[in-house]
Amino acid sequence: MKKFKIWYKNVFGSRREIVREEALGVKNHQVTIHDVTYFVAKALFTDIPEMIEIERAVYAGKAPWDSTAFANELRREKDRLYLVIRKNDRLLAFIGSTFDERTRDAHITNIAVLPDYQDRGLGRFLLNIMIKKAQQLNYKTVSLEVRVSNEQAQHLYKDLDFQQTGVKRGYYFGDHEDAADMVLNLEAAPAAQETQEAQAHN
Position 192: which residue type? A
Cβ atoms 178, 169 nearer than 8 A: yes
Could you list the active site residues?
A: 145, 157
Q: What whole-number distance in Å separates Cα of residue 142 and Cα of residue 66? A: 24
Quick one: which H or E segment has residue 76?
none
Q: Note the pLDDT of residue 78.
A: 86
Q: Write down all domains in the chain, each with its CATH number in brackets.
A: 1-185 (3.40.630.30)
Q: Note the pLDDT of residue 198.
A: 44
pLDDT in tens, 166-189: 998 877 766 678 889 999 999 875
Q: Note the pLDDT of residue 109.
A: 94
CA-CA-CA-CA torsion sign (50, 55, 60, 64): negative
Cβ atoms 172, 132 nearer than 8 A: no
Position 7: which residue type? W
Q: What whole-number distance in Å separates Cα of residue 112 and Cα of residue 96? A: 9
Q: Note the pLDDT of residue 20.
A: 75
Q: Note the pLDDT of residue 1.
A: 63
Counting as low any pLDDT under 50, the low residues of the chain are 5-9, 191-202
Task: Quickly count helices (H) and strands (E) in the chain.
Answer: 6, 8
Verdict on whether the full-model pTM lies above 0.85: no
